[in-house]
């Protein structure tokens, strides 16, 4: 039932642009997402998979689109003059470059995209050429883009995450013993470099971080020399590897049961780990950062949840919520500021589920604006299977 509803929902929505009949010129917006319609349907529009099968690789882009469509429905009820064009970036019939040069997009005013690292530069260059904002919804990557005031990243970069983690530790854990457990790797070296740079640039007292490199199949005995039964130790995961993170948290949870005083600070990739609800992690305080936090207690979130429960017999994913809030926020900003939209991209008046702190990122060599990035981070804590915000 859910697959059929989703397919019908997509086909009806993609068959034509969302239009209203206002007196004033409509706002022209393009949404790009990896919908994989050619993979899901054959030439006769027959679904390629069994009725009860829905491939996981389709989910993220589709969920983003589901949220975006719900936001567009809400905006249409406000009678905002809109023309919205939706493109499947995995289309077999057209490339991303050809989609961006579609004649229908002649007077485009806003690009919103769920994109890959290879696509970022293409979108950003097109936005710069047109002098219109490009909102990167999902990817924490600048894609090598510089000197582009029209590129906006909603997912914070690794550098911003490491700076935020460093500041959070300074504020709440500076009196603890601080140990960064890591493994060999280029990304691990980047993380260490970001922490070291944060220490050099801090206005406060630099943290005394101890770095410990662990072997691949480390055990509790590798952690024991760096922990104490009397003094609290904050163990910082110096790797984005989720398996490394789960292993580190699992070993520390075992040591907590032996009266070692420890908690663990994870990386932003830990937002995707749901194993922390399992009994083996009980007793350990697990903290990590994310720019995306929605407790779903507000009225709009509850409405979206109700729609999914009643129409699709499912719970809306975080990507559904991101799709909704992104379209809601930036279309409202475009409607209010129109020609001055780019200058007001950082305004917070249309924040919905969470705060965004969209700040300019300056090139240190040229002191020019490279792009805009969301700098707002939330710190979440897993403890005994429950999660909550701690800032």
Computed on alpha carbons and rounded to an integer, the radius of gyration of the chain in Å comes to 23
Q: Are residues 122 and 182 in the same domain?
A: no
178, 38: one domain: no
Residues 233 and 247 in one domain: yes
Find, among 296, 235, 223, the residue nearest to 267 by Cα: 235
Do 49 and 135 have their domain in common?
yes
Q: What is the pLDDT of residue 57?
A: 72
Q: What is the pLDDT of residue 367?
A: 84
Residues in Cβ contact with 127 at an 8 Å cutoff, skipping those fewer than 6 apart: 111, 133, 134, 148, 150, 151
pLDDT in tens, 317-355: 999 999 999 999 999 999 999 878 888 999 999 999 999
pLDDT tens profile 141-162: 899 999 999 999 999 999 999 9
Is 371 within a domain? no
Q: What is the pTM (predicted TM-score) of this model?
A: 0.88
Q: Is residue 42 part of a domain?
A: yes
- What's the number of domains the chain is made of? 2
Q: What is the CATH number of the domain that holds 189?
A: 3.40.50.2300
The boundaries of the domain holding residue 241 are 158-290+379-389
Q: pLDDT tens, 255-307? A: 999 999 999 999 999 998 989 999 999 999 999 999 999 999 999 999 999 99
| Percent with pLDDT over 90 in the chain | 77
Does residue 103 lie within any of the structural domains?
Answer: yes
| Cα separation, 269 vs 284, whole angstroms | 18
- Say if residues 117 and 328 touch (Cβ distance below 8 Å): no
State whether 78 and 127 are in the same domain.
Answer: yes
To 10 degrees, what angle do helices 318-337 and 59-77 make? 40
Q: Residue 330 falls within a domain, yes or no?
A: yes
Is residue 374 one of the residues assigned to a domain?
no
Question: Quick one: pLDDT at residue 58?
Answer: 83
Range from 47-51, 92-96, 197-201 carrying the lowest mean pLDDT: 47-51
Question: If pLDDT is split at 50, 70 and 90, which confidence band does 99 have?
Answer: very high
Instruction: Give the residue from 326, 344, 346 showing the smallest Cα distance to 334.
Output: 344
Angle formed by the axes of helices 158-172 and 186-201, to 10°?
A: 50
Identify whether residues 41 and 174 lie together within a single domain.
no
Instruction: Output the pLDDT for position 12.
Output: 45
Looking at residue 39, its pLDDT comes to 64
Q: What is the mean pLDDT of residues 109-134?
A: 96
Average pLDDT rounded to a whole number, residues 90-116: 94
Are residue 89 and residue 145 in the same domain, yes or no? Answer: yes
pLDDT of 11: 45
At residue 24, the pLDDT reads 80
pLDDT reported for residue 45: 53
């Amino acid at each position: 039932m859910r697959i059929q509803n989703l397919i019908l929902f997509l086909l009806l929505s993609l068959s034509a642009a969302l239009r209203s009949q206002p007196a004033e010129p409509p706002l022209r917006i393009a949404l790009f997402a990896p919908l994989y319609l050619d993979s899901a349907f054959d030439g006769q529009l027959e679904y390629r998979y069994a009725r009860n099968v829905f491939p996981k690789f389709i989910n993220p882009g589709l969920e983003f689109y589901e949220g975006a469509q719900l936001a567009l429905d809400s905006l249409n009820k406000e009678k905002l003059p809109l023309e919205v064009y939706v493109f499947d970036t995995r289309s077999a019939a057209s490339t991303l470059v050809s989609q961006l040069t579609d004649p229908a997009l002649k007077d485009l005013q806003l690009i919103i995209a769920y994109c890959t690292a290879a696509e970022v530069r293409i979108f950003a260059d097109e936005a710069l050429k047109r002098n219109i904002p490009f909102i990167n919804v999902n990817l924490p990557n600048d894609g090598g883009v510089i000197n582009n005031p029209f590129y906006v990243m909603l997912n914070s970069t690794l550098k911003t995450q490491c700076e935020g983690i460093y500041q959070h530790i300074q504020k709440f854990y500076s009196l603890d013993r601080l140990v960064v457990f890591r493994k060999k790797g280029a990304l691990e070296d980047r993380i260490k470099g970001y922490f070291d740079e944060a220490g050099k640039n801090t206005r406060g007292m630099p943290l005394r971080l101890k770095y410990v490199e662990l072997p691949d199949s480390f055990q509790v005995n590798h952690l024991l020399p760096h922990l104490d039964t009397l003094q609290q130790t904050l163990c910082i995961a110096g790797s984005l590897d989720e398996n490394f993170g789960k292993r580190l948290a699992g070993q520390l949870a075992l040591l907590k049961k032996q009266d070692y005083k420890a908690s663990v600070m994870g990386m932003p990739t830990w937002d995707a780990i749901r194993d922390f609800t399992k009994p083996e992690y009980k007793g350990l305080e697990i903290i990590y950062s994310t720019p995306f936090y929605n407790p779903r207690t507000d009225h709009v979130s509850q409405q979206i949840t109700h729609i999914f429960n009643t129409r699709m017999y499912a719970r809306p994913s975080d990507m559904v919520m991101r799709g909704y809030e992104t379209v809601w926020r930036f279309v409202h900003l475009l409607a209010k500021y129109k020609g001055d939209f780019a200058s007001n991209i950082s305004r917070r008046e249309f924040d919905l589920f969470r705060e965004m702190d969209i700040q300019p990122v300056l090139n240190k060599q040229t002191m020019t604006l490279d792009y805009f990035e969301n700098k707002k981070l939330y710190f979440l804590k897993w403890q005994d299977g429950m999660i909550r915000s701690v800032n």
